[in-house]
Structure 1
Amino acid sequence: MNITAAVSRGGDAPLAIETLALRAPTADEVLVRVVASGICHTDSTTREAFPPGLPIVLGHEGAGIVEAVGSRVTGVSVGDHVLMTYQSCGECAECSCDLPGYCAHWATLNAGRFGPDSPLRAGEEPVTGGFFGQSSFASHVLATTRNIVVIDPDVDLVSAAPFGCAVQTGAGAVTHVLAPDASSVLAIFGVGGVGMSAVMAARTIGVGTVVAVDLSPERLELASELGADVVIDGGDTDAAAQITALGNGGATHALDTTGAAPVIATAIDSLTARGVLALVGLGPSTLPVEVAKLIGRGKTIRGSIEGDVNPHTYLPQLVQWHRDGKLPIERLIRAYPLDRVNDAIADAASGAVVKPVITFS
C-alpha cells in the first residue's frame, strides 16, 4: 500500500514528505494507521548520526488505530486504539524478568530495518523503516504485539502518544528506578518532556520535596505549576549548594535527563550521603567522575532505559493517571500537522515547545 511519510535523507537536511510503499503485514505483524507521533530527542540524534544518503523514517512515539492483523496475532483486533513503544524479543532473560527495556536484542530490534529487510520503498529504493519497531513519522506502520499496547477508544491519542517513550522514561525513572518517598528530596535536572513527566510522577506518588533544575525560566515556571516545590536556574554556579541547603544534606535522589557532563557533575555534588543519581539522557560516551565523591559519601550512579518498566502494564497506569488529572501531559504538547514536521523539530531544538506531536488527518 502507499503511505505518506517524513523521510530523513541524512544529516540536518529537512525531512521530506514523500509517498512510500509499505508492504503487507506478515503473520506476526499489525498494521496501524498513525493518528499522532511524538517527537523525541532520540529522533533528532539518530537523524544527525545516520549515514548521509541512506534514507530513514524516524518516529517512535506513535499512537493510532489497528487496520489489519496477521494470521498469528492474538490479543489485538482491527479497530483497536493503540500506543506504540520500543520493540523487544520477549524471550531473553531480561524480557523474562519483566524488563524488556534491557532486551538482549535491543539494538537489532530498534535500530531499524535496512536494505532488502526494510518494509518501506521509495520506488525501487529501500527506505529504512521499523525504527523502534514502528517508524511512526508515517501515516501507517507495521508493529507487533510486543511493542503495541491496546487502550480504550476514548483516550486522546494526541495527548497519549508520548507515553510510549518520553513519559514512561521520566515517570518510570521516578516510580521504578529511584522510588523516592515522602521523606525524600528528588532533584530533576532538565525539565523537557522526560523531566516534566518525572515531576508529575513524583507529585503523584507523594515525594516529599521535588526540585526542578533547568536553564529556561518558562520551563521552570511550568514545572512549578506541575508539582515542583523548588525551581533552580541551572546556570547558577551554586545550583548544587542551593539543593544541599534545602535540608537533609542534599538530594536523596536525582535524575539527569540532559546527558550533559557539567550537569551530571552538579547532580553528583547535590546528592546527600548514599544518594542515588539515575541517568536517562544520552550524552558524551565517557564522563569525568571524581571517584572520591562517590566512595567518600556512598553515592550511587546508575543508568536507566525507558524507566525500567514493562510498557504493557505501565502505559495503562499512565493513561489512568491522565484520566485522574494527575498527569496533564497536554500542558506540554503542541500539535503540528505532518507537513510542518520540520517546524516541530526546530521548535523542540530551540526550546520553544516542550513536547511537539505530529498529527495525521
Structure 2
Amino acid sequence: MSQSCRAIVAYQPSNKQPDFRLEDVSIRDIEPDECLVDIVATGVCHTDLGVASRPDSIYPRVLGHEGSGYIRKIGSKISLNLQEGDPVLLSIAFCNNCPSCQSGHPSYCYSAYALNFANPGRDTYQARSVGTEQDFVVAGGFFGQSSLGSLAIVKESCIVSVAGAVKSRSELQLFAPLGCGFQTGAGTVSKLGKAQPGDSVAIIGLGGVGLSAVMAARIIGCKHIVAVDRIHDRLALAKELGATDVIHTGKLDTASLAEAVRNATDGLGSSLTIDTTGVLSIIREALEMTSILGRMVLLGMSKESIDIDMTKFKLAGKTLLGSVQGDVIPSQYIAQMIEWYRAGRFPIDKLVRFYKPEDIGPALHDMGTGQTVKPIILW
C-alpha cells in the first residue's frame, strides 16, 4: 500500500539549470530486499546537481544520496540486524558478490552504475498534475535510496546502522553527509591515497569533499597540507581545519599553480595531489605539481580526456588514480569518522548549514556562490 510523503522532484532542466520542486507524492510499498526509512536529513551533493542538469537524464525523478533517518519498515529478506526505529545513515549501493565487493572494495562494484545511476526504481513515486488532476510516475532508486524526500525506499547495501552511535535526532541530521561527501574526501586521503605523516598533500577545490580531505590529512599529521581554491572564505576555513598553506588561484599573478605548490612543499611538489574540480586545465597543472613517485587522484567529474606525456610520466614514476567514495567500506569508515568527530578532530559542524525543504532554491544558490559548503535539507 502506498504512503503519502513530500519529496524534492527534479524536472527537465532549462539551459542546463536544475529544476527542483517540492511536491506531495505517494511512495510505493517496499520489496522484500528493501527498507522504508523516515528521512530526517539529506545532504545536497554536486552529483545530485550534475545529474539534474543533464537533459538526457530521466525525469521527473527524486535524487539525493546523503540521507539519514530511522527505519520504519523492514523487508522480509533483509539480513542486516535492524529493528524498526533504528537510526541509520545511507551510502552507496553495491552488489556484495562481485570480485570488488568480495575483496573489500564496494565503491568499485562491478554493478555500481546499474545500482546507483541506471535507475531501477522508475515507479517508486506517483504525483498528481496540477490542473489536470492526472497521476504521473516519478522515478526513484538513485544510489539505491533517493533520499531527497521525507520517506525513502532503500536497498539493504545502502544502509549503515548507527544504533548506539548517535545521541539525538539533531546529531543524526548533522551526520547525513558522512555516507558520501565527507567519506569521499577523508577516505581519498587516508584509504585510497594511503597518506602518511611524511607526505605533502595538495587538495584542489574546497567544497565538502576537499575540506574533509584537509581534516583527514591533519589527523594523519601530513608534513604539508596545501589547500587550493578561488574563494577566500574557503581558504580561511581550510587554514582553521589544518591546512599548512593556502593558495588563492585568483592571486597567482605570473606564477603557475604547479609552481606555487612546489614553493609550498620545499620545491619537491605534492606527493599526494587530489583534484575535486574536474577542470581539465587544473588537472594538467595538478599532474605537473605532483612529485616524483607521487600519487595524483581524480575526484571531479568530467567527460574530457587527459593528454599525458607518457615518457615524462613514466620516468617520474607517478600514479594516476580515480576515487569513488575514497575506496572505503561505508559501515567501517562511517564509524571511524564518528569517532574522529567525538574526539574533536573532524569538526563537520563547521561545514554544514541547514535548510527547510521549501528552501531548496536558496540552498542551491548558497552552495553555488560558496556561502555554504554543505547544505543539509531537514525533513
Please name the residue that 1:137 is paired with. Answer: 148
Deviation at 1:50, TM superposition (A): 4.5
Write out aligned runs for 1:297-308 (5 A).
297-308=316-327
Alignment correspondent of 1:350: 369
- Counterpart check, 1:48 vs 2:50: no
Whether the 8 Å CA contact 2:280–2:304 is kept in 1: the answer is no
What corresponds to 2:98 in structure 1?
92
Work out whether 1:288 is the aligned partner of 2:307: yes
Instruction: Determine what percentage of the aligned residue pairs are the same residue.
Output: 36
The Cα offsets for residues 259-294 of structure 1, whole Å up to 9 and x where unpaired, read as: 111111111111111111011111233123333431
The equivalent residue for 1:69 is 74
CA distance in 2, matches of 1:13, 1:187: 31
* Corresponding residue number in structure 2 for 1:191: 206
Residue identity in the other structure for 2:9: V
Q: Which residue of structure 1 lines up, in the alignment, with residue 7 of structure 2?
A: 5
* Cα drift, residue 178 of structure 1: 1.2
Superposed CA offset, 1:182-229 (max 9, x none): 211011111110000000011111111111011111100000000000
* C-alpha distance in structure 1 between counterparts of 2:4 and 2:56, whole Å: 25
* Cα-to-partner distance string for 1:218-257 (whole Å, 9 max, x where unaligned): 1000000000000011232422112212216111111111
* Residues 1-361 of structure 1: pairs in structure 2 closer than 5 A: 1-11=3-13, 12-51=17-56, 54-74=59-79, 75-111=81-117, 113=119, 117-123=122-128, 124-151=135-162, 152-154=165-167, 156-235=171-250, 236=252, 237-245=255-263, 246-247=265-266, 249-360=268-379
Contact 2:51 2:57 in 1 (8 A): no
Cα deviation digits, residues 29-69 of structure 1 (max 9, x gap): 11101110000000000001143782010110001111111
Letter of the structure 2 residue corresponding to residue 139 of structure 1: S
Q: Secondary structure at the match of 2:140?
A: coil
Task: Give the Cα separation in 2 of the matches to 1:47 and 1:13.
Answer: 5
Q: Which has the higher strand share?
A: 2
* 2:131 match: none
Write the letter of the residue equivalent to 2:61. Answer: I
Contact 2:275 2:300 in 1 (8 A): yes
Name the SS of the counterpart of 1:273 in structure 2: strand
Task: Please tell me the root mean square deviation across aligned C-alpha atoms, in Å.
Answer: 1.6
Gaps of 5+ in 2: 129-134
> How far off its partner does 1:71 sit?
1.8
* Deviates further, 348-357 or 213-222: 348-357
Q: How many residues align?
A: 359
Structure 1 gap segments, 5+ residues each = none
Residue 7 of structure 1 and its aligned partner are, at CA, apart by: 0.6
- Counterparts of 1:208 and 1:153 in 2: how far apart (Å)? 33
1:89 CA displacement: 0.7
Task: Look up the SS of the partner of 1:146 in the other structure.
Answer: helix
Q: TM-score, with normalisation over the residues of structure 2? A: 0.91
Do the aligned residues in 1 keep the contact of 2:199 with 2:223 (CA within 8 Å)?
yes
Residues 3 and 186 of structure 1, relative CA distance in 2, 3 Å threshold: same
Q: Is the 8 A contact 1:181 1:205 kept in 2?
A: yes
Native 8 Å contact 1:191 1:212 kept in 2:
yes
The one-letter amino acid of 2:167's match is D
Q: Deviations over 1:125-150 (max 9, x none)?
A: 22110100111110000113211111
**Alpha-carbon shift at residue 160 of structure 1 (Å):** 0.7
Secondary structure at the residue paired with 1:118? strand
